[in-house]
Amino acid sequence: MIKFDNDYSRSAHPEILKALNKDMDNSYAGYGLDSWCERASAEIRKAIECSTADVHYLVGGTQTNMTIIDIALRSFEGVISADTGHVNVHETGAIEFTRHKVIVLPSTDGKITADQIREQGALKVHNPTPGHVVEPKMVYISQPTELGTLYSKLELEAIRTACTEFGFYLFVDGARLSYALASPHNDVDLKCLASNCDAFYIGGTKCGALFGEAIVIINDELKPHFFSYQKQHGALLAKGWLLGLQFYTLIKDNLYTEIAKPAVKMALDVKAAVLSKGIRLAVDSPTNQQFFIMTNEQIKALSDEYLLSEIETVDEFHKCMRLCTAWYTKQEDVDLFIQNINKL
């Protein structure tokens, strides 16, 4: 069985495993106060060209989203998200568990716009009953989105402008950020993210690490006492050096982006093959996640050899299926899959 159902089903990139094995006999300070985290943070600050950024290391994406959103917002404040946003649909109400409402906006291909954010800002400013409703304070977007699509530099800058107009923080979820950076259709680099966001995170779990996410805090308002808040949220790893070592290995020499490039190319090759067979796209993604509208017969024909994710039932004859490539995907597996697509 060849697994295309997710991008986090293998251990870690060989360079990380080699670094871990080489370092087995050394001991480090706990809770991220070690030389590996220090070196990793220095590499991240260099990559984003922001020497004043704070960098902290957490284990998973939901944990990271919940922690930064909770510490940024007062109890009566909420976070704006696309209806497809991970904080809205795939975190078991983690944000609401911290007493913050997710203010949901309809999206187009997983993205929201600056105008939609301005509408929310106007509702806040002109609210006839202030103090009786949740007030938006943060905008949450993902790069790439949960549907694999990308915000352009112009779109990101427009959202930043809208956020500034109404005093909203902008937080970007980068769970699959390496695949965005590796896409030939992307024009948002790490420096651009740092210039436009109050905080964002560099995903490791889906991008070559065993586990881990690196949150980068740009806005000084969000920096004080983060360590203490992180501890309160159960998000502070005692063996923090494990995270530092992994992110140092990924960010140094741009391994983070380079290992994602083959995955994106293979995903786009699959998309081309699917389109050539007349199979419809659910969304036109330029990254490692691809979404197809397939017939039940087509799905059955592939199911003995390949595992894809079923996203939703379109009608009684069709389902939306997701295919993921990753840093570890083998070219021969993709070639074989394309051959089987051509036989449908």
Domains contained in the chain, CATH given = 2-7+259-342 (3.90.1150.10), 14-258 (3.40.640.10)
Specify the long-range contacts of residues 270-279, CB closer than 8 Å, at least 24 apart. Answer: 270/323, 270/325, 270/334, 270/337, 270/338, 270/341, 273/338, 273/341, 273/342, 274/341, 276/342, 277/341, 277/342, 277/344, 279/341, 279/344
**Euclidean distance between CA atoms 4 and 246, whole angstroms:** 24
pLDDT 10s per residue in the chain (344 long)?
999 999 999 999 999 999 999 998 999 999 999 999 999 999 999 999 999 999 999 999 999 999 999 999 999 999 999 999 999 999 999 999 999 999 999 999 999 999 999 999 999 988 888 889 999 999 999 999 999 999 999 999 999 999 999 999 999 999 999 999 999 999 999 999 999 999 999 999 999 999 999 999 999 999 999 999 999 999 999 999 999 999 999 999 999 999 999 999 999 999 999 999 999 999 999 999 999 999 999 999 999 999 999 999 999 999 999 999 999 999 999 999 999 999 99
DSSP 67-111: HHHHHHS-TTEEEEEETT-HHHHSSTTHHHHTT--EEEE--BTTB
DSSP 306-326: EE-EEEEEEETTEEEEEEE--
Residues facing 289 on adjacent strands? 324
Q: Report in angstroms the alpha-carbon separations of 317 from 71, 130, 230, 293, 295.
A: 46, 49, 47, 10, 6
pLDDT, one tens digit per residue, over 175-224 is: 999 999 999 999 999 999 999 999 999 999 999 999 999 999 999 999 99
**Burial status of residue 25 (CB atoms within 10 A of its CB: 0-12, 13-18, 19 or more):** exposed
Sole residue written with tokens 């409402």: 101
